[in-house]
């Protein structure tokens, strides 16, 4: 489509944007190619950032749980001396970790959903991107958060199962 003689391209673009809110009028074909290229780069960068965040999250969860278990070795030794089986102590650790993971995942998802909308508005990028938070996205986030917590718990339970009773009490 061409602009009729006597009209400037920028004026027509602004008029279209006023008539159809939330759109961005691009008059030059090279702008369209640039926007497409930039959106692909942003999309790939978002995937890379998400993978790095998951790896970092896994390390933090496992480290936190390992430190918590290490600090409580004496407590677990006393429980074992009182007649608790290693399996029961393992279930205790697993239950605590799963509860913490669910609470942490729910809190993180709520903050993430809120922050995504705020960041888009703060950067005035609503024309190009919009946060999409559906029930399925939240469910997957809960599964990942819960899974990382269970992974951390299993590592900790494995460590507790290896420590002899007397050494756990003496530490």
How does pLDDT run across 87-146, given as a tens digit for each residue? 898 889 888 888 888 898 899 899 988 988 888 888 777 666 777 888 998 999 899 888
Residue 5 lies in a domain: no
Residue 145 lies in a domain: yes
Residue 129 lies in a domain: yes
User: What's the rounded Cα separation, in Å, for the pair 107 and 111?
Assistant: 6
Residue 108 lies in a domain: yes
Split into its structural domains, the chain has a count of: 1
Whole domain around residue 59: which residue ranges? 50-170
Residue 6 lies in a domain: no
How does pLDDT run across 1-46, given as a tens digit for each residue? 566 777 777 777 778 778 887 777 776 666 766 666 777 888 788 8
Helices and strands in the chain, H and E counts = 6, 0
Residue 74 lies in a domain: yes
Residue 37 lies in a domain: no
The predicted pLDDT at position 107 comes to: 92
């Amino acid at each position: 489509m061409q602009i009729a003689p006597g009209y400037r391209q920028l004026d027509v673009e602004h008029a279209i944007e006023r008539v159809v809110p939330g759109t961005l009028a691009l008059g030059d074909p090279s702008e369209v190619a640039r926007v497409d290229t930039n959106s692909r780069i942003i999309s790939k960068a978002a995937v890379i950032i998400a993978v790095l965040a998951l790896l970092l999250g896994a390390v933090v969860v496992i480290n936190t749980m390992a430190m918590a278990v290490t600090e409580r070795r004496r407590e677990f030794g006393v429980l074992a001396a009182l007649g608790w089986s290693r399996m029961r102590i393992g279930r205790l650790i697993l239950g605590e970790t799963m509860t913490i993971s669910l609470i942490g995942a729910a809190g993180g998802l709520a903050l993430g959903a809120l922050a995504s909308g705020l960041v888009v508005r703060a950067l005035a990028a609503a024309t190009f991107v919009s946060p999409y938070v559906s029930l399925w996205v939240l469910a997957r986030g809960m599964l990942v958060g819960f899974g990382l917590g269970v992974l951390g718990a299993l590592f900790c339970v494995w460590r507790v199962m290896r420590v002899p009773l007397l050494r756990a009490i003496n530490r």
